Structure 1
Amino acid sequence: MALAASSAGFVPDRPDLGHRAEGLDLADTAFFADGLDPSAPRLLPPAAYRALAFAELEDDAVWTRAWLAIGLDAEIPAPGDLLPFTAGHHGIHVQREAEGGLVGRFNKAQHGGCRAVPLQCRTGTRTRCSFTACGYSRDGTVLLAGSEGPTPAMHQYLGLRPERLLPVAVQAWGPLIRITLDPGAASSEAPPAGLVALAGETRRVEFAANWKLAAQALAAGAPRATGPQSLHLTGQLATGGAASIAFHFPNLVLIEARGETCAVMLQPTALGQTLLRVGLLGGGGSSPADLEASWAAWQAEIAARLAPAVALQASLAGFGEPIVTDAAGLWLQQRIADSVHARPAPAQTQPLYATAQGRGC
C-alpha cells in the first residue's frame, strides 16, 4: 500500500523505490554519462542541483558513507563542549570527553517532537527550529559546557542518557574533526602534516549555490595529483598570488597561500544554499601578525570564488544547454557517481515506523 503524504504528514525517503525527478532516473549511469566525459566535461543535468530526490540520493550515497569534516578540534577544548553538525538528513554532535578524547553521537531526536517529520521540513531547506536539534533543523554554534558541565541547552542533543544514543565514528584529523555515519568506512588518507589552528573558532558564511557548485568553485585550479579521496591542484588567488588547493571528498577544501591554509567545510542547508564553516590553519608555532586581516582576506577570496557558482545557481531555471565544467567539477562528479553506484542495495522495503493514521487506521 502506498503511503499518502497527506495522511502521514511526511514523505518517507525510500531508497528501495528509487530516486527519480524531472522524468529521469537519478541513480542510472546514463544520468552521469555526459558529466563524466574527460574530453568535454559538463555539469550534471539540472535535477542534480535543484531536485529534492537528488539530495536524498546524496544522503543515501555520500553524506552517510564518507568521512566528513565538521569543524576544528580547537573549537571544543574543554570536557563537555559540544559541536553540532547535520550530515545529510541526520543530526549528530561531537563532544569532548573528560579524558580529552572525542565522542560522536546521533542527536536525541532526529525528527523533533513532531512524531513525524512535517512537510515543511522536507523541502530541502533546513528549518530554524527553536524546539530541538533534529536532522531537519539548522545547526547551532558550538556549545561550551563551562565549569559545571553540560548546560540545559545541550539537552536537545544529549537527552538524559547520552551513553544510550546511537554512536558516530569520530576522529581528530590533524587540526580538524571528521565523522562518518558508516561504521565500515575506512579512513584512507593521512591528514595534512604540520598544520595547527591559528584561531580556536570557525566562522560561518552562506552562499546561494548548491553544495556541488560551491565546492568546485572553491577548488578551481589545474590538477597536479590525486589521492584515494582527494584531488590536489595549483590555482591562483583573486588577488593574483599562487595557491595550492586540496579537495577532500566530499566537503573539505584546503587553500594554502600567503603562509596560511584556509580550511573550508561545506554543508548543504538547502537545495540551492550552502553553509561554509571556515577555519584558519598554519604551521606549528606560526601565527599571523593580524588575525583579523587574515580573516578579511580569506573571506574576500571565498566570496570571489563563489560568485560564479551563485550566478550559475540563479540561472537554473533556464539551465537547459550543457555547461562546461572544470577539473574539480569532473572529479567531484566522478566521486559522486562512484558513491551512488557503490552503495549497497536496500534489503528492507518496509518503513521503520508509521503513525496510526499513516497505516490507514
Structure 2
Amino acid sequence: MALAVASAGFVPDRPDLGHRAEGFDLANPAFFADSLDPGAPRLLPPAAYRALAFAELEDDAVWTRSWLAIGLGAEIPSPGDLLPFTAGHHGLHVQREPDGGLVGRFNKAQHGGCRAVPLQCRTGTKTRCSFTACGYSRDGAVLPAGPDGPTPAMHQYLGLRPERLLPVAVRAWGPLVRINLDPAAAPPEPPREGLTALTGETRWAEFSANWKLAMQALAEGEPLAEASDSLRLTGRLATGELATIAVYFPNLVLIAGRAETCAVMLQPTALGQTLLRIGLLGSGDAEPAAAAPGRMSWDAWLAEIAARMAPAVATQAALTGPEADDPRPTNAAGLWLQRNIAARVLARPAATETQPLYATAQGRGC
C-alpha cells in the first residue's frame, strides 16, 4: 500500500525529502550494512536509537506497514468496548461489534483539537494530553461501553459517524488482537494453536530503552527456526528454567515457560522509551500455575521481564555517552530484527504526492 505522503498543517516529516541525521542518510543501505554481518552482528549506528529522523523512517516503513499486536481480545469482551493503540504517529482503535467481531479504525481526532500539530508534540515523545485520542499523545486504558452503547469518553475516537472513519485491518490472532494500517493487507502467519488468555487484563510496564533494544533483550536466546515475519528461539528464564521464545515482527514477543506463555507487546512512547503491554496466556486445557490465577504468575513474569530489560536500559544510556559510537554487539534476535527493518526500508514505495492536505497560516509561512 502506498500511503499518501501528506501533512496536516506544519509538520516536518517529508519522506520525499529523505531521512537524514548525524551525517547519515538513514534510508541508504549503507547505513545498515555494517550491522547485518552474521559473523559479527552488532547494533545499528546510534542514530537509529536516538534520532527523531529514524523514528520517522520507522513510522513510514514499519509501523504503518506491518501487523501489530495491540492487546488481548479478552480486554474488550462486550459490544461497544474500545481498545486504543497508537501506531507510530497514528491514533487507532479496535472496537467489539454487536455480533462479537472486531472493527478497526483510525481515530476521529488524529491531532486532538489542534489546527496543526504543535511543535512540542513532534519530539519523538508521546505527550500527556487531554485529547487522549491524538496520534501524538499517550494511550489511555480500554474504554468499556455503557449500558446504552458508546460513552462520551469515546467521542474523541469515534466521532458522530464512526462508520465513516478510515478503516484499519484487524484480526483476532488466537487470544491476541493484531492490526494493520492497510485494510487490504495480506493476513499474518497463523498463531500458535491452543493459546487462551488466562486473565482478561494486561499490565503495562515502561522502560528507558528504544523499542529495538527492548525487543532483542526480551528475545535473548539461541535461534531455532525463522520465517518471513517470525523467529523462534530457545533460552532460559532468570531462574534457570528452560523457555521457548517466539518473536513476531515488529512488536510481539511470546516467552513460554512455567506452563504459561507471557505475551509482551511493544509500543514506542519516546525515542528512548518503550511501553510493554503484557498478557498471560495458557493452553486451552491448562490450569493456571497458581491457585490465585495470576498473583504468583504476574509477580514472576514481571520480575523476568525486568531482568531481561536491564541490559537494554543500560545500552540506551550508553548510547548518549561519549563512547556511543563504539560498535556494540547484538544477539540473534537483534540481527533478525535489524535485517527486517532494513528490508522494509528498502521496500517502501516511492513517494508520489508531496503537497499538504491543507495549509495553515503557520504552514504557509504567513
Give the TM-score of the pair, scaled to structure 2.
Answer: 0.95
Separation of aligned partners in 2, 1:197 and 1:204 = 16
1:204-255 superposed Cα distances (whole Å, 9 cap, x missing partner): 0000000000000000100000112000000110010000000000000000
- Give me the TM-score of the superposition, normalised by structure 1: 0.96
**Which runs of no fewer than 5 residues in structure 2 stay unpaired?**
1-7
What is the percentage of aligned positions where both structures have the same residue?
78
CA shift at 1:359, angstroms? 1.7
Shift of 1:13: 1.3
Q: How does 1:261-272 map to 2 (within 5 A)?
A: 261-272=261-272
Instruction: Indicate the SS of the match to 1:358.
Output: helix
**How many residues are treated as equivalent by the alignment?**
354
Instruction: Report SS of the residue matched to 1:58.
Output: helix
Q: How much does 1:352 deviate? A: 2.0
Q: Which amino acid aligns with 2:315?
A: L
Counterparts of 1:250 and 1:322 in 2: how far apart (Å)?
A: 24
Secondary structure at the counterpart of residue 170 of structure 2: strand
Alignment correspondent of 2:242 = 242
Q: Match of 2:113, as an amino acid?
A: G
Equivalent residue of 1:256, what SS? Answer: strand
**Aligned position for 2:310:** 307
Contact kept, 8 Å, 2:229 with 2:248, in 1: the verdict is: yes
Q: Residue 86 of structure 2 aligns to a residue in which SS? A: strand
Partner SS state of residue 35, structure 1 = coil
Letter in 2 for 1:149: G
Which residue identity is paired with 2:359?
Answer: A
Shifted more, 14-23 versus 176-185: the winner is: 176-185
1:320 equivalenced with 2:325 (yes/no): yes
Equivalent AA in structure 1 for residue 345 of structure 2: V
Q: Note if contact 2:91-2:135 (Cα within 8 Å) is conserved in structure 1.
A: yes
**Conservation of the 8 A alpha-carbon contact between 1:235 and 1:244:** yes
**CA-CA distance at 1:148 after TM superposition:** 1.8
Q: Distance in 2 between matches of 1:348 and 1:232?
A: 39
CA drift of 1:158 comes to 0.6
Following the alignment from structure 2 to structure 1, what is the Cα–Cα distance between the partners of residues 150 and 204? 24
Specify which of 347, 353, 357 is matched with residue 352 of structure 2.
347
Q: Once the 2 structures are TM-superposed, how far is the Cα of residue 183 of structure 1 from its aligned partner?
A: 3.2
- Output the amino acid matched with 1:134: C
Q: Indicate the RMSD between aligned Cα atoms, in angstroms.
A: 1.2
Verify the 8 A CA contact 2:9 2:360 in the aligned structure 1.
Answer: no
CA shift digits 1:53-83 (9 cap, x unpaired): 0000000000000000000011000000000
Structure 1 stretches lacking a partner, 5+ long: 1-7
TM-aligned CA deviation for residue 185 of structure 1: 2.6
Which residue identity does 2:78 align to in structure 1? A
- Cα deviation, 1:115-170, whole Å, max 9, x if unaligned, reads 10001000000011113411000000000003221111111111111111111110
Contact 1:109 1:132 in 2 (8 A): no
Cα shift readout 1:245-287 (whole Å, capped 9, x = no counterpart): 0000000000000100000000000000000000000010323
CA contact (8 A) 1:10 1:122 kept: no
Is it true that 1:294 corresponds to 2:320 in the alignment? no
User: Which stretch has the larger CA shift, 95-104 or 184-193?
Assistant: 184-193
